[in-house]
Structure 1
Amino acid sequence: MANNFVVFISYSHDSPEHKRWVSELAVKLRHNGIDTTLDQWDLQPGDDITRFMERGILDADRILVVCTDNYVSKANAGEGGVGYERMIITKKNIEKQGNLKFIPIIRQTLTEDKTPEFLKDRVSIDFTDDNQFDAKFEELLHERLLVPPVQRPDVPHIESLRIKNYRALRDIELKQLKPLTVLLGANGSGKSTFFDVFAFLTECFTVGLHQAWNKRGGLKELRSRGCDGPIEFELKYREKPKSPIITYHLSIDENTEGPFVETEWLQWRVGRGGKHVRFLNFERGTGSIIPGEKPDKTGTPIKEQLDGTSTLAVNMVGQSAQHPRVGALRRFITDWHLSYLSTDATRQTTDDGPQKRLSTTGDNLTNVIQYLQERYPERLEKIISLLSDRVPRLEMVDTELMMDGRRLLKIKDAPFEQPILAKFTSDGTLKLLSYLILFHDRQPPQLIGIEEPENYLHPRLLTGLVDACRVACMMSQFMITTHSSRFVNELYPDEVWVLYRDEQGFTVCKRASEMQGIEQLLDAGRKLGKLWMEGFFEFGDPLTNAGGPKRNLHAH
């Protein structure tokens, strides 16, 4: 199948839940290499809607028609956008395009008419049972869209995170985290501190507890003001979808010799109704671990003495093939990518040669592009194509080896014949290029954290950036902070957490979907980011009560 194979999705805006279902279907299609056209992504305010529908339907290789009672009724009656699309998809056009182009998808129908009249003779796919979604998607992908099956790696997913005594995070817990999680809040509300938790844990595993601890000023600067006891992290995660939840607990304190691990343990429960098994349990450098692929109570614990009290048991024991569950967590945490992207860093010249993955600052951007040029030119071509869709006139991204061994990054835009050096390229172009390279890594980080990705980008590009994040979420979990209402407009309320500092100065958080009236306003067609800016959120407004709860949340 050609790389430019295009699918257009025709559907009715029945409800926010239905729109989200269609969006998630489109994300999965894009992740599997299908260039999918969806109004939620590709139709901007002020665009010509009729032209969008005409071009989308006529130019697409396949048209997915998502059938609900509402869609069928509107199509048969010729009403609204669905009715206009029905006019475009005439019987003559169907006959001309052949039987393969139009694929009815049955999503929700209570009447006998499962599809519109013009698709009565088309074989449909039944997506009404969400429990069968994966199987039906495979049928759509491989049997109807003819995409060859590809074995994809299982991606770990953090289900919840609890943090205690870490700076302003005295006791905070985020539950039922989504593949895309976005934090909002006034300046100083604790977003960056939450972000730093992931950086701190990664550094504990990569450079060691002492260095990560001292870099942040030690216990005096790290422990929540006026609080006693150790700093604690508790992470609940799955190694792959539907696998048992594993809980990782890490407690750190400090004495005259420096930081030490007070307690560290791992536990899970295998099977329904089974009891929790703590298969790794350490305290101050001494403990035990149950080996094996599926450690349970029948296993014999092996006693271990670590190199010191500041050594993390998971980091040391996880290097042994005897302990695959521990090793999986170690690989997961050390693979996290916390982006501190600097456009100045991306402009650097380098002589280090090709490199596989973008660094946290982006200072090896030229090296990664060189790697893609030499090893995976088709992947680089795809990235440049995506970038050119967002940056007008951009034509080429290239690297050039200088006489002194350094390599320069060059970017060419139309109508000029000669490319310019990266140091003269706009910050926004370099930032988008860096993000696209990170998202399209052949083995992307299993968790990606980004602070304020909207910086330097035109507001209308943020829809596409959220789209790119959603596609990348198939292989990576995202943690993002933002101050952009445009970015938030493209999110679902259960993906958004709002933070504020209480009267004691500690961070409190709440999911947007749990705030009074938000779901109802979204059902009425309002945008989430606009609701945030217009004061409908219960807190998070820096000009009202210092970002805290509104004393009288007035009706709008």
Structure 2
Amino acid sequence: MPLYSGGYLLYLSFLTPVPSLVGQMKIESIRLQNFKTFRDIHLRDIPPFLVVVGANGTGKSTLFDVFGFLHDCLKNNVRSALDKRGRFKEVISRDSNGKSILIEIQYRMLITGSERLVTYILEIAERKGTPYVKREILRYKRGRHGKPFHFLDFKNGTGYAITNEEDFNKPDEELDRETQTLNSPDVLAVKGLGQFERFKAANAFRQLIESWHVSDFHISAARGRKDAAGSSEHLSETGDNLPLVARYLYEQHRPEFDKILQTMSRRVPGIQDVQPRLTEDGYLTLRFQDGSFKTPFLDRYVSDGTIKMFAYLVLLYDPKPHPLLCVEEPENQLYPRLMAELAEEFRAYSQRGGQVLVSTHSPDFLNAVRLEEVCWLVKEAGGTQIHLAKEDPQLAAYMAEGDQMGYLWKEGFFEGADPR
């Protein structure tokens, strides 16, 4: 895959949750060039549940921000996504001399009964201080042989998309191309064309990105009274709609809500019930029932750990799992004993269809993780490299003998990861 000069390149292949292109999403690989601290890395064979570790400043948050960046580009435009991160000059690696940034993500999707690798390429350049989409491509192989076919191909805001891509009986040259010109040079083609079902690959890709969840949970945002009107089916990135989602699960998906309560009662001493209640003035609150007290008490009186555990369970027992879930340092405010069970919850979520990426500093969390589920980041000469635990002979040998990953991490067996 060439790295286009003078721009910002994003390459993805994906599984889609869209009904017309049924399949279960799984990220296969991520490649980054000149994206902040990642000058040139390629993370392959990503499992459904991946745990990322590393010293502070090695790029764990940056790795997750790859998904947030694309989500922001789709939600608004490229300029706003870059401005949110300090503009183009702050996103591109400092020693890149103004060259491209490459983000390459591989997914698989089921198309007309066959699993295919679909590729999305986005190149963002800057001209006279103004960012624009220099190249955007969506492609996959129509058959077993030959090169991937471009179903969407745009340059500088003008290009084409295929409207009958699933007609595999037709040769490539007979497919119907629809030429389009975008309204602005910093808008993604998949944002506009993805609204229309006739552009199936673009439509699937747009819906996929919109379904990603990159958690930025804040306990202060989750607490307190909330307006009874608002988004209620899925927990927001900050968790500020927690009472609304709890009420939605309580009323519409009672079995899932009961599972949450059962898990809470096992993991949080004394908590027997959680009640989403509508106040007389029209606001929603959460009331927690402690077995020691006859009267439930409001969420502002319970611990941070209790609120956070409840929020994680609401997220993880979502009846419609996100195709991708990213969570940073879930151990904060939680008792170490809960880490093993929380890791199992994340793994179970990934087995239900939502891939999970978690960053952590907790040896207790790592002790519940398998060899093939771990990678670590190492900063070398100002740039970050990624290492897979399963590819390290020493770690593999220790784990085969019954050692635990958290112990090996704590004792410094992850080469180059110790900040000292």
Which position in structure 2 is the counterpart of 1:319?
A: 195
Q: CA deviation at 1:206?
A: 1.2
Q: Deviations over 1:463-521 (max 9, x none)?
A: 11111111111221111111111111121222211111111x11111111112311111
RMSD: 1.7
Q: CA deviation at 1:293?
A: 4.3
The residue type paired with residue 213 of structure 2 is: H
Which of 59, 63, 78 is matched with 1:209 structurally? 78
Query: Is the CA contact (8 Å cut-off) linking 1:373 and 1:380 kept in structure 2?
Result: yes
Which position in structure 2 is the counterpart of 1:331?
A: 207
Work out whether 1:302 is the aligned partner of 2:173: no
Which of 418, 433, 454 is matched with 2:331 structurally? 454
Which position in structure 1 is the counterpart of 2:383?
A: 506
Which position in structure 2 is the counterpart of 1:218?
A: 87
Which position in structure 2 is the counterpart of 1:254?
A: 126
Instruction: List gaps (5 residues or longer) in structure 2.
Output: 1-21
The residue type paired with residue 91 of structure 2 is: L
Which of 77, 85, 109 is matched with 1:239 structurally? 109
Q: CA deviation at 1:424?
A: 1.2
Q: Which runs of 4+ in 1 moved over 6 A?
A: none
Which position in structure 2 is the counterpart of 1:549?
A: none
Query: Is the CA contact (8 Å cut-off) linking 1:156 and 1:240 kept in structure 2?
Result: no
Which position in structure 2 is the counterpart of 1:347?
A: 223
Which position in structure 1 is the counterpart of 2:46?
A: 177
Which position in structure 2 is the counterpart of 1:118?
A: none
Structure 2 CA distance for aligned equivalents of residues 379 and 514 of structure 1:
38
Structure 1 CA distance for aligned equivalents of residues 162 and 207 of structure 2:
19
Structure 2 CA distance for aligned equivalents of residues 258 and 444 of structure 1:
37
Aligned pair count?
A: 390
Structure with more helix by fraction? 1
Work out whether 1:482 is the aligned partner of 2:360: yes
Q: CA deviation at 1:171?
A: 1.8
Q: Deviations over 1:34-75 (max 9, x none)?
A: xxxxxxxxxxxxxxxxxxxxxxxxxxxxxxxxxxxxxxxxxx
Instruction: List gaps (5 residues or longer) in structure 1.
Output: 1-152, 544-556
Structure 2 CA distance for aligned equivalents of residues 461 and 293 of structure 1:
48
Which position in structure 1 is the counterpart of 2:347?
A: 470
Which of 198, 205, 212 is matched with 2:67 structurally? 198
Q: CA deviation at 1:257?
A: 5.9
User: Sequence identity, in percent?
Assistant: 37
Work out whether 1:283 is the aligned partner of 2:155: yes
Which position in structure 2 is the counterpart of 1:229?
A: 99
SS in structure 2 at match of 1:418: coil
Which position in structure 2 is the counterpart of 1:107?
A: none
Structure 2 CA distance for aligned equivalents of residues 166 and 155 of structure 1:
28
The residue type paired with residue 321 of structure 1 is: E
Structure 1 CA distance for aligned equivalents of residues 265 and 23 of structure 2:
31
TM-score by length of 2: 0.89
Q: CA deviation at 1:327?
A: 0.9
The residue type paired with residue 160 of structure 1 is: S
Q: CA deviation at 1:401?
A: 2.4
The residue type paired with residue 459 of structure 1 is: P
Work out whether 1:432 is the aligned partner of 2:318: no
Work out whether 1:497 is the aligned partner of 2:375: yes
Structure 1 CA distance for aligned equivalents of residues 99 and 395 of structure 2:
38
Structure 2 CA distance for aligned equivalents of residues 247 and 264 of structure 1:
10
SS in structure 2 at match of 1:517: helix
TM-score by length of 1: 0.68
Q: How does 1:48-447 map to 2 (within 5 A)?
A: 154-227=23-96, 228-240=98-110, 243-256=115-128, 258-294=130-166, 297-298=172-173, 299-353=175-229, 355-447=232-324
The residue type paired with residue 285 of structure 1 is: G
